């Protein structure tokens, strides 16, 4: 969104500067000064009303932002005056399009839409994570029934889930789940787990080769 905001601002500023230049060419100087002063004053009033609450402790920052907004509104009003004779009735649809495509409007719209979308499942066959924090011990009963092969596979899949997590709450939930997997591996084979961790494993790697298998080559000794 930051890159989009930069592109949007660059396009709007370029468009406004061209329109202001047209106004300077078309209209007499008194008219230009009047429109510029009126727009600047309007921008100053709006900006001070908007920024005063959030920047009360930083008056210098408030004055700077208010000045930038005031000058921008003044130039924009001058650009509207300049484009009027050139674009005619097409000017206002163009302005409305620029407003609709502005970063703040898009963020508001996308946030509104996302709140009304059904929640995405956590993963296939698994319930969505709870809204409250959980501890690793919560997962212990369901993890202990896994054999070593399934446990290692679950560890690998959990990294994929973590990469796809789109919120801090979901990330915390998956990190806790991964901790539960490590706790169970340590309970079954602390030496094998330690050897695996000391080997500098890759994020997607698993500890299969380092664990001591039981006689059936599937279950670790509990």
Burial class (CB in 10 A: 0-12, 13-18, 19+), 162: middle
pLDDT digits (tens, 9 = 90+) for 63-94: 777 777 778 888 888 888 888 888 888 888 88
Residue 191 has a CB neighbour count (10 Å cut-off) of 11
pLDDT value for 149? 85
Sign of CA dihedral 193, 195, 198, 204: negative
- What average pLDDT does the segment 138-162 reach? 86
Q: What are the phi and psi torsion angles at 3 (to 5°)?
A: -65, -40
Global confidence as pTM: 0.45
Residue 203 has pLDDT above 80, yes or no: no
CB 174 within 8 A of CB 120: no
Q: What are the phi and psi torsion angles at 166 (to 5°)?
A: -110, 15
């Amino acid at each position: 969104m930051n890159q989009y905001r930069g592109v949007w601002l660059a396009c709007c500023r370029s468009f406004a500067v061209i329109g202001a230049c047209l106004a300077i060419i078309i209209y007499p100087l008194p008219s230009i000064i009047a429109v510029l002063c009126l727009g600047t004053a309007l921008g100053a009033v709006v900006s001070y009303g908007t920024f005063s609450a959030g920047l009360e402790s930083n008056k210098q920052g408030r004055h700077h932002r208010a000045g930038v907004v005031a000058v921008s509104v003044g130039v924009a009003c001058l650009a509207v005056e300049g484009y009027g004779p050139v674009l005619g009735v097409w000017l206002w649809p163009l302005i409305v399009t620029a407003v609709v495509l502005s970063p703040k409007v898009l963020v508001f719209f996308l946030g509104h839409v996302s709140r009304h979308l059904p929640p995405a499942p956590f993963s296939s066959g698994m319930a969505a994570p709870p809204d409250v924090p959980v501890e690793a011990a919560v997962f212990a009963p369901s993890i202990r029934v896994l054999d070593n092969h399934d446990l290692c596979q679950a560890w690998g899949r959990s990294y994929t889930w973590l990469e796809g997590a789109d919120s801090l709450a979901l990330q915390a939930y998956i990190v806790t789940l991964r901790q539960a997997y490590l706790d169970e591996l340590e309970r079954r084979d602390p030496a094998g787990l330690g050897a695996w961790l000391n080997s500098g494993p890759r994020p997607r790697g698993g500890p299969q080769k380092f664990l001591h298998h039981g006689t059936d080559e599937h279950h670790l000794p509990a």
